[in-house]
Every structure is written in structure tokens, then in C-alpha cells.
Structure 1
């Protein structure tokens, strides 16, 4: 019989549980759409990404968010390289940093209500948390398109693009979760077999952006002023995961330090704080951006603050972020490692 799922009645930002032989981690900030803060779902979103207000509030203190950023990048690396099966059940919005938790898992299950996006450029930031690695491996120039425009993909499109593995009707997620929790095996074939029982075949709609790949490939392969921006993703095609994460971490913190401009904080002000949706960028046009300024964004951080990712297998798969005893226990699987509350 499928095991009943006990939803903890707690206010913890991160809820960690062992249910049978399964580890379950829940980002529990439903009222904030599960945005990821320094402590890092429940509610109507998987995760709307990083806590932008946290970054904005710390803008006047140098490196106030460095630790939170560092931990997030470490978490992304562990999710990519973790040995045991990971499953994400993704209902609702999955954007930016939140999407980076979903995409690399062995099994990412979305629904018809899932919305995927990497909208960082809309607030003067860059696709981070491993997306220079993931977007660069999408078909054609789709990665450049998603990274630069922040365009949204819906459930079927997310799977068709290769950013999730299965789509399941939202009304079936509760039963799927119960079945996964009842498994007494960490065998990937057994996990996939259960998910396939609930998943559905699909066709993307005629007006889907994925049916316009020839246009995307044509537009985003040009040598234009924007080429320097696109090279960020294209370069990722030739880099390892750790190289991409180290590069992104350096860029992120140089932006947070306002190395060449205040655009990131201005973007947050316009979209999140004042909500006037009218950011006042500086420089105001791409023509005004000098190569010397861009070089500063890629400039090496102080060595002791660089992202330290060990390539040693003994250290590689053990979490140094969260003190969850079962992360190195004999549990078979981590079926739902990061999830949202599922609609009844």
C-alpha cells in the first residue's frame, strides 16, 4: 500500500525528511513563491528563483550576499553530480535559480501548469547557477534565445526542449508522489517505470516557439553587437560543469559588487521594489558598452573568494552545505529532493 505523505506543520525555510528509504527536501516559502534565500516548495510555485529583495537590501554592504551565492553554486554542482537518483516534481513557476535545481536532476517531472524561464537578463543580471552549461547544450541556438530574452516555456515545451524528462497531469501528482515514496529500491529503471505509468504523450502546439527554430537559429547566429553577450553561452559548450560554475560565480559577484554599473539593483528596483517596470539602465545602449568594461565583469575574484569545487570523488558527492544526516546514509534514493506542494 502506498505510504501516506505527512506534510510537516513547521515554519522552517527548508524542510528535510526521511520517509521510508526516501529523502525529501522541501523549500517552504509559499507566500514568496519559494524564492531561494540565504537559508535555503510549498504552495503554487516550484521556485521563482533567487530572493531578489535579499540582494537589494544588501546592496550597500560589500559581499553581504557572497555566502548565499556560494552555497547556491555548491548546491547546483552537487545536484548535477550526485550519485543517487534525484526526482523533482515541478508544479507552477520554475524560474532562474529555481529552474537550476530542477533541470539537472535525473528525473524532472513537470505538469501542464509548469512555467520555465531564465529571466535574469530582464533585471540586469545573467543566466547563472549552471545555465551557461545547460543552455549551451540545447538544440541549435535555443539556449541563446532563452538566455537573452527570458522567454517562457510551458509544460510540454519544457520536456520537448530537453529541460525536463516527463510531463504528468497535475491531478495525478499526488498519487505519483505516493508511489515513488513507496519504492524500496534506488534502481533508476524502477523509478522511471513508475513515472511512465503517470506520464502522457504530447504534441507541442503549432504556435510554440519550438516550431520556429529555423528563425531562432538564423537570428541568434549573427555576428552582431550582441555577439559578446551570446558568447557567454556559446563558450559553455566547450567548458566543463565546474568551469561554467566558476565563471558564473565570478560574474555574479562582480555584478553584485557593481563593478561597472548599478544595473542589477536598478533592475530589482524597477521590477520588484517600485514595480514601475521602467529600469534606467547605464550605459543606456549597447554601443556605449566598452570591451574594457566587459573584461572587468569576467575579472578574477580574490583567490580565497573564488568558487572552490573539488574534482576529488571522495569529496565530490558529499554535501558540505546542509547538515542532513541522510545525505550520506544508506537511503536507496532521494526521490523528491526539492519539490513544491502538489495540488489536491
Structure 2
């Protein structure tokens, strides 16, 4: 039997060994030194409740040091990873006066998410489907995040009167330019390749190769290092990853911002652009922002900016304080009722308070009220003090497995002693200083097209 045929047979046998999914919210499955955590609530889109996050917490404790690799995925592969917090369940708790039950759930969730970010064992989250809100937060901080062609990554919290939480302020504040602020304000989804180029995912793997990836991981001899896992993912990754889908001229427009009011003004001005793609984008984005919670938009902008100077643990503390203030506001009730009841909610509940961004007289006062005043219940997240497996950090500890950032590319280009006369010359020089990761060439090309210009026959970076 050929090696390829043997590999295919082994993969088929592995798939046949997969457990028949029961009604358990999470399936915990061990094979060949691999510990799989399988989200298994398809009827509710794997939304987050205590019955989903508590088993993951308990299983990680049970597996501590025993598994060579951990995998987090969904039984609804190709459709849904997780659609976030179960808003209906949260609202039911609030209607019964069980506010502390919601806070207990958030406490357990944040503590789990932070712990998953700093596990010593390689942990792979496979975003093969919708990853939204806290459903994105449960996997976005782990050492390896895989996007596929089915990925739809979004934080649409401004639609329900909230702000990106679950540590996503940490993630968004570290994306290139103002992309994180744009994603946080609009809640627009990113497809798989764009999530990869943005740095939200560390790798892009076609869904048809996920089974092969798991087979290769199972074949790795102990001990397994993060480098071993990275090499394995790279070997099954697509070597012809498309470039980012957002045109460079729109990315340039996104990077121009100040206050929320100024963003609205800038979008109105962009509608006069000579570029038809920019004009249409500005019209669509402004119309969308005008439907979202004005207070949330102000809070989100300041929140993401502040998270840029915080550690991940501090971001969770910050989120916890902020969420407590937002979920008791009428805006939250309005947003959730509008989503869960659709047209039936119109006219039955009040709208946003205030209704428009123009009605907000002082954005700074809103920021002070939400971001600078203490909450009634602190998180007390322990980071790197009394627990050896939850150190805190200001950058993701396995950042070397991600695509280079704009800052990385700029630093390499400006460190060159050569006078690069073209983007081609600059591209070759930059690629020679990077690790050859799939997608690197496409990312560097996009950044150079957007951020450099040849002046006096010398390629220069333009901020």
C-alpha cells in the first residue's frame, strides 16, 4: 500500500472513531495524545452558557500536562463555531432579578479565556464557521487560530448596546492601523482569508484539509512543541492564499479617524470621493453606523484605544467593569429585543437613548462615566501571581506564528542599508527577512501598495 493510501485509510479510521455526539454541550474526546473540546449545541448555535464553558474549564484542569496537543472545534463544522453569549438566557436571568447569575457566568468565562491564552500546551481553535462575540473570544487568544473559507468572524456588540468584550479590545487594538476600531464600531464580519491577513487568525487552512491536519497532529511524537504544531499546520495550509479582499483605498479611509462624530463627518465627505468603491463603501458604512447604538459607538472607540496600553488580564478586568454598566441600560434591552424579536419589537420598546450621535453633546463625559468609574463588582483575575499557567502579557506570546504586522514590515524596510528603487526590490528584501509563512507575500504586497511610495527613485514609507 502506498504512503498516501495508508494516510487516507488512517484518516478514515480516525473519523470512524469520532464519538457519536450526544446532547452534551461539550464533547471531550481523547485520541493519540490529542485532547479535543467539541462545542455541541447546534440547536442554539453553540451560544455561551455555563453548561458550555464550565465543562471546558474542568476538562482543561483534568488534561493538565497529559495531552500533547489540545483542539477546540465545533460539531457544526462549516456552519457555526459559536454565535456568542446566549442573549435570550441572559435576558431571562435579568427579568428574574438574577443579575449575579449573569456576572458569575461572565467571571467564569473571562477566567477561562485568559487561562486558555496562556496554556503551556499548544491549543488550536478551528474557526470553521460563524465565530461571533464571546464565541470568538473563547478561541481568539489561544496559541493557534485557524480560519477556513467558512469563517465569519464578527463582534457586532454595537448592535445590542454593548462593546466588544472577552478580551477582544486587546486583539482589536493590536491590529494594523485603525482596522480594529473599524471592526469594533461596525461589527462587520471578516471572512476567513481577511481574518488571517488581519492577524485574528494565525493560519488559513481549507476546510477539506482539517481532517488531514488532525491526522498529522495525532502522528506527532512526544514531546510536541509549538514549533512542531506550527510546521504541521503550515504543511497542510493552502500555498495560494488570496490577498486581502478590502481595497487599499478603503483601508486608507479606515485609518483616518478621531472622535465618533468626526468619523460620521469623514464618511459623509468620503461620499464625495472620485473613487466609486470608496463612495459606495462610505454610503454603506455610514448608513449602517446610523442604525447602531450611539453610546456604544462612543464607548467602543475609547475602549479599544485604551486597551492598546493594557495587558490581556487588565483588558479582561476592564471588560468586566464595562459590561456591568452596559447590560443594565435601556439600550441593551432595546438591542436584544430588536434582534430576538425582529419586526415584532418595533414600537414595543424604546429606541436608543440618545437616539443619534448628533444628540451626544460631550463624548468625553460618556467615556469618563463608563471607562473611568469603578464597577460594583471587580473581577479579581489572577495573572502570573498565584498560578503558574496563567501569566499575563502585553503581546500574544506566540505572535511569531502570525503574519507580520505593518509595524514589522516597516521596521524591516527602514532597517535596510540599501536604497530600494521599487516595491519589487523592497518586497524581495522584506521577504528575505521573514520566515516564508504561507500568505506572507500577499500580506507584504498589500501593505507596500498602501503604505509606500517611490520618491526621488527611493521607496519610502508613508504614514
Coarse TM-score class (shorter-chain normalised): 0.7 to 0.9
TM-score norm. by structure 1 comes to: 0.83
Q: CA, structure 1 residues 120+229, in 2 after alignment: closer, same or farther (shift >3 Å)?
A: closer
Aligned counterpart, 1:4: 14
Aligned counterpart, 2:374: 300
Aligned counterpart, 1:282: 353
Higher mean alpha-carbon deviation, 49-58 vs 170-179, is at 170-179
Offset of residue 287 of structure 1? 4.2
Aligned counterpart, 1:203: 242
Aligned counterpart, 1:21: 33
Aligned counterpart, 1:163: 200
Aligned counterpart, 1:76: 113
Aligned counterpart, 2:225: 187
Point out the structure with max Rg over C-alpha: 2
TM-score norm. by structure 2 comes to: 0.62
Q: CA, structure 1 residues 192+98, in 2 after alignment: closer, same or farther (shift >3 Å)?
A: same
- The structure that is helix-richer by fraction is 2
Aligned counterpart, 1:109: 146
Residue 319 of structure 2: SS of its match in structure 1?
helix
Aligned counterpart, 1:331: none
Q: 1:131 aligns with which of 155, 165, 168?
A: 168
How many angstroms apart in 2 are the aligned matches of 1:283 and 1:223?
A: 14
Aligned counterpart, 1:269: 337
Q: CA, structure 1 residues 23+314, in 2 after alignment: closer, same or farther (shift >3 Å)?
A: farther
How many angstroms apart in 1 are the aligned matches of 2:299 and 2:195?
A: 27
Aligned counterpart, 1:336: none
> Would you say the 8 A contact 1:133–1:240 is kept in 2?
yes
Residue 208 of structure 1: SS of its match in structure 2?
coil
RMSD, aligned CA:
2.3
5+ residue gaps, structure 2, are 1-9, 53-73, 263-296, 391-463
Map 1:144-163 → 2, pairs under 5 A: 144-163=181-200
How many angstroms apart in 1 are the aligned matches of 2:248 and 2:159?
A: 21
Offset of residue 211 of structure 1? 6.0
Aligned counterpart, 1:42: 75
Offset of residue 112 of structure 1? 0.8
Residue 200 of structure 2: SS of its match in structure 1?
coil
Q: CA, structure 1 residues 270+87, in 2 after alignment: closer, same or farther (shift >3 Å)?
A: same
> Would you say the 8 A contact 1:254–1:297 is kept in 2?
yes
What are the Cα deviations for residues 128-185 of structure 1, in whole angstroms up to 9, with x where unaligned? 0001111000000001100000011111101000110111111221222222233233
Structure 1 residue 234 and structure 2 residue 305: aligned? Answer: yes
Aligned counterpart, 1:248: 319
> Would you say the 8 A contact 1:110–1:167 is kept in 2?
yes
Instruction: Number of aligned residue pairs: give it.
Output: 311
Higher mean alpha-carbon deviation, 36-45 vs 141-150, is at 36-45
Offset of residue 17 of structure 1? 2.5
Offset of residue 66 of structure 1? 1.0
Higher mean alpha-carbon deviation, 266-275 vs 144-153, is at 266-275
Q: 2:156 aligns with which of 119, 124, 136?
A: 119
Q: 1:89 aligns with which of 118, 126, 138?
A: 126
Q: CA, structure 1 residues 255+308, in 2 after alignment: closer, same or farther (shift >3 Å)?
A: same
Which structure has more RCO (C-alpha within 8 Å, separation ≥ 6)? 1
Residue 82 of structure 2: SS of its match in structure 1?
coil
